[in-house]
Amino acid sequence: MLTPSFDSKSKVPLYEQLYRFLRQEIESGGLAADERLPSKRSLAMDARLSVVTVETAYSQLVAEGYIRSENRRGFFVQKAAARPEQSAAVPPQPAPLPEVRQTECRYDFATNAVDAEFFPFSTWAKLTRAVLSRKDSTLLSAAHPQGVPELRQAIVNHLYHFRGIRVQPEQVVVGAGSEYLISLVVQLLGREGSYAVEDPGYPKTEQILSHNGANVLPIPVDQQGLRVDLLEPSGARVVHVTPSHHFPLSLVMPVSRRSALLDWAAEQPDRYIIEDDYDSEFRLSGRPIPALQGMDRQERVIYLNTFTKSLAPSMRISYMVLPPKLARRYQKEFFFYSSTVPSFEQYTLALFMEHGHLERHIWRTRRRYKARRDALLEAAKREGLTEFATFTGGDAGLHLLLQVHRTASEEQLEQAAAEKSIQVYSLSRFYRSGQSSFDEPCFLMGYARLQENNIPDAVHRLVLAWK
């Protein structure tokens, strides 16, 4: 072995330089398997290093398995330690992956939008500060697997006041978004049988279910919501529904259909209903539609809701309410799962709710969104859009359905709108078949992100595009 020379001025410590040199020698085969290394003392002398430096380098090589130390006999190169030097090798270069693209249109009728200006930043910051200033270990040690008790209690109160349903904190499971909670539901209910989903419906639901190994079964939706009469013959065991505000058709499932759905579930011991109540807080007139969960007497409804809509999409906090029987099973078999939401966020949100900020925030945003919806309907009339198009489903949730009385295809109209810098979303894309059941072109019109003063211009452009 050549005696290496080292640079004592380099930022790389001497032991590190020696370590790298020796590793290189071994990996390249310059030092063969079972070859004996110079004693620490002699190498220190030759290389003008301290014995401690050599010792440190040697013990690192021992730790990584490049050399072994044998009692009184010294250090030897390990077998099979030869390997192409990695730090020198060029790592595989992935093709730069596309970022998520945003629409370039001036006005976007997206349904998953929220308006930043509504978010109570200063309040949230104040509460975050309050939480962090506590500096106690409960903030840092792993949170309760179902979510911190304060937050679960706040959710229970919220559900009672906003949705009129009474549940226990022990039934609540807080999680990092509804998508994550749905995967937990699959783990909890198992992968046997099929999971029925609404067709048309929220495409992610099907994707999440099947990625989690569930067999998905699309069931048609009529004017009353999911066709419960088709559930029995379909052989589905679990069904995912949005009774308070069907996505995308913006329908409310009437009480008779709800009863039929609950009766279907009651017929077999292992049938369950996943009620996704994703934007029930945003019913814009009258009182909120009652949750299906409140009608459940058989412990068959798993209630799912999120703060993504009511606070911000970036706020990955959702929760589910398990029927008592399932909640007990969850505690037995799923308690090893750590809570997926940072405790800071959980405590902050709990305070936010306890102090009534969420309630106020929802009232405020609801009023603002209502103003936007009204502005949209008004402009539609004034600009003459309603002369050849009809809005429906405006009371629940943050989008309407626009039916255009034109013979053109949805693609053509979407394209025409885009040319006027308006992004609209055709209804057909939410159908399994890719073809909406309406005989006229329909579009989902989300208005949450549109500024009131822009709405007339947006509608004017639509009229120009489709006239």
Site for a copy of itself in 110-169 (CB under 8 A): 112-114, 116, 119, 121, 124-125, 128-129, 132-133, 135-137, 139-145, 149, 164-168
Contact 376, 408 (CB under 8 A): no
Q: Which is nearer to a copy of itself, 117 or 439 (CB)?
A: 117
Identified binder of a copy of itself from the candidate list 8, 71, 338, 407, rule CB under 8 A: 338
Maximum distance among all Cα pairs of the chain, rounded to whole angstroms: 97
If one asks whether residue 203 binds a copy of itself (CB under 8 A), the answer comes out as yes
CA dist., res. 38 & res. 381, Å (int) = 91
Could you write out the DSSP letters of every residue in 358-387?
HHHHHHHHHHHHHHHHHHHHHHHHHHTGGG
The burial class, CB within 10 Å (0-12 / 13-18 / 19+), for 218 is middle
CB of 375 to a copy of itself, least distance (A): 20
x-or-dash pattern for a copy of itself, window 279-318, by CB under 8 A?
Answer: ------xxx-xx---xx-x-x------------xxxxxx-
Identified binder of a copy of itself from the candidate list 17, 53, 111, 183, rule CB under 8 A: 183
If one asks whether residue 344 binds a copy of itself (CB under 8 A), the answer comes out as yes
If one asks whether residue 434 binds a copy of itself (CB under 8 A), the answer comes out as no
If one asks whether residue 266 binds a copy of itself (CB under 8 A), the answer comes out as no
Strands 236-241 and 194-199: parallel
Termini Cα distance of the chain = 85
Cβ-based neighbours of 23, under 8 Å, separated by 6 or more: 61, 64, 66
Rg (CA), the chain: 31
Return the bridge partners of 236, or none.
194
Identified binder of a copy of itself from the candidate list 176, 230, 284, 408, rule CB under 8 A: 176
How does 380-396 read in b/e, with b if 16+ C-beta sit within 10 Å? beebebbeebebebbbb
Q: Which is nearer to a copy of itself, 98 or 233 (CB)?
A: 98
Q: What are the backbone angles phi and psi of residue 37, rounded to the nearest 5°?
A: -85, 155
If one asks whether residue 16 binds a copy of itself (CB under 8 A), the answer comes out as yes
CA dist., res. 466 & res. 417, Å (int) = 7
x-or-dash pattern for a copy of itself, window 391-430, by CB under 8 A?
Answer: ----x-----------------------------------
Task: Look at the block and give the residue holding tokens 């304060």.
Answer: 150
Identified binder of a copy of itself from the candidate list 24, 74, 334, 362, rule CB under 8 A: 334
If one asks whether residue 91 binds a copy of itself (CB under 8 A), the answer comes out as yes
Q: Which is nearer to a copy of itself, 8 or 137 (CB)?
A: 137
CA dist., res. 268 & res. 372, Å (int) = 45
Q: Which is nearer to a copy of itself, 315 or 427 (CB)?
A: 315
Q: Which is nearer to a copy of itself, 252 or 416 (CB)?
A: 252
If one asks whether residue 259 binds a copy of itself (CB under 8 A), the answer comes out as yes
If one asks whether residue 87 binds a copy of itself (CB under 8 A), the answer comes out as yes
Q: Which is nearer to a copy of itself, 62 or 418 (CB)?
A: 62
If one asks whether residue 253 binds a copy of itself (CB under 8 A), the answer comes out as yes
Q: Which is nearer to a copy of itself, 211 or 382 (CB)?
A: 211
Q: Which of residues 218-237 bind a copy of itself (CB under 8 A)?
A: 224
If one asks whether residue 39 binds a copy of itself (CB under 8 A), the answer comes out as no
CA dist., res. 418 & res. 159, Å (int) = 41
Contact 344, 123 (CB under 8 A): no
Identified binder of a copy of itself from the candidate list 199, 279, 345, 414, rule CB under 8 A: 345
If one asks whether residue 194 binds a copy of itself (CB under 8 A), the answer comes out as no
Q: At what angle do helices 324-333 and 178-189 cross, to 10 degrees?
A: 90
Return the bridge partners of 273, or none.
239, 301
